[in-house]
Each structure stands twice: as C-alpha cells, then as structure tokens.
Amino acid sequence: MIPLVLENVSKTRGRGARAVEVLHGVSLAVEAGEFVLLEGPSGSGKTTLLAVAGGILTPESGRVFLEGHRLHGDSRASDRGRRAKTVGFVFQRSNLLPQLNIQENVLLMGRIAGMKGADASREAEDLLRRLGLFELRYRRPRELSCGEEQRVAVARALIHRPRIVLADEPTGNLDSQAGQAVAESLAKLAGSRGSAVIVATHDVRLASFASRRIKIEDGRIRPEGNPVSPARPEGGR
C-alpha cells in the first residue's frame, strides 16, 4: 500500500478578497521507505502541503489518501485517529511539551497513537538509545540543546512506527552540525522502520539524504531534479 497519495489537490488560505490559493492541483505519491525532499522558497506552499498531507488542513478540491484511506471524508474523528496511527510529525521547533520529561514526551505520542504501554516503553527505549539520548530520558526539554531536543522530536515522530513522517524545516533552527545529526537520525531511523519521509526545507545540505527531490513554487510542483535510489534502510546517505 502506498503510504501517501495526493491527487490534484488545491488549497486556498484566507477568505474573501484576501483569499490566496496556496496549492494548485498538486499530485504526489510517496512510496514506503522514500526520503523525499520538498524544496521551495518561503510562501511556496511547503507547509500547507504537509498539513494537507497530514490531514490537518482540508483541501478545497482533490483527494488525499493515507495508506489507501481517503482523508477529509465524512469523519474527522476517523481522520484524526488514522493520522495519529500512520503519520509522524517533526516541526521546525521541537515543540516538546515542557512539563514532561524526554521519555514522557516520546511516550505521549505512543499513547496518542493507541500503543500499549509496554510496547511504547520498549520502542521509546530503543529509539532513545539509538539516538544517544537514553541517559537524558528523565531531563526536561529545557535542559537539552536544540539539537538534542530535535532528536527527541524525531523519536516522538517514530515511536508508533508511522507509515510516513512529515517534517517541516526540521533543521531550520539548528547549526550545521546539529542539523546534520538530526537529518541523519531521521533518515536512518525512518529507513530502518520502513517509514517514508517528506522533509520540507530550505537546507540544501539535506539533499544528500534524499531519495527524491521535489521543488514547489507558488503552490505548484515542478518536476525538477533526478529521482535517486530509495534510502538504504540503515544508511540514508
């Protein structure tokens, strides 16, 4: 089953005279294990595309399929449940909840996705170990560096083994070294779990992790860039 398919999706933001069509007939399919780079200038529609793909925004026209299930149909509750189970999100900022420690932040997503406690704990431990954060698991987000916080966000996005991870400028707030570590972690761990990844970014350094690069301008996808081979399960480079 293809994790994500967008068919001729259009989306307008704002109302009345201030309405702007942000996406124009966008079509896209993302295969399992792909690491797709969505590149474009600010205001090109990258974030809106991720939000529509993740079921957060409803398009005016077109269809979105997550794991073959059409989103934005009759039941928003059903969409929400499906989104929780099949999509992982990484935001520009880590957006970790400050009242929870690192482990609780990661486990929270497991709970939202409906995982059993023991399974979620096992996955969280595995991810935090692989990200080198296990020793920091009882710390609060404010006690971590930005790079560490964003790696925790990667763990949160992957704990429930989503079919697709949507990352919006995940390295946008990081220095080059931390950004490299976050991108590497995301590519490696998502690949090892068979999760597809779409990363919306300006950061050209992430190109080395991509199996495919898509350019978006003025809400339209431009068929530029050569498709490259899918990311290796444990590599990504």
**Residues engaged in binding other proteins (CB under 8 A):** 47, 50-51, 54, 56-57, 77, 80-81, 83-85, 87, 89, 91-93, 95, 97-100, 104, 107-109, 111-113, 168
CA distances from 31 to 5, 196, 198 (A): 9, 7, 11
For other proteins, give the closer residue by CB, 100 or 146.
100
For other proteins, give the closer residue by CB, 51 or 231.
51
Shortest approach of other proteins to residue 114 CB, angstroms?
Answer: 9
Shortest approach of other proteins to residue 40 CB, angstroms?
Answer: 15
Shortest approach of other proteins to residue 81 CB, angstroms?
Answer: 7
Kindly state the tokens that stand for 199.
């990363």
126 burial class (0-12, 13-18, 19+ CB within 10 angstroms)? middle
For other proteins, give the closer residue by CB, 78 or 176.
78
Task: Work out the number of other CB atoms within 10 angstroms of the CB of residue 213.
Answer: 18
For other proteins, give the closer residue by CB, 15 or 223.
15
Q: Are 159 and 102 in contact (CB under 8 A)?
A: no
Shortest approach of other proteins to residue 28 CB, angstroms?
Answer: 18
CA neighbours within 13 Å on the CB side: how many for 148?
Answer: 18
For other proteins, give the closer residue by CB, 152 or 231.
152
Shortest approach of other proteins to residue 98 CB, angstroms?
Answer: 8
Q: What torsion, rounded to 10 degrees, do the Cα atoms 77, 82, 84, 86 define?
A: -170
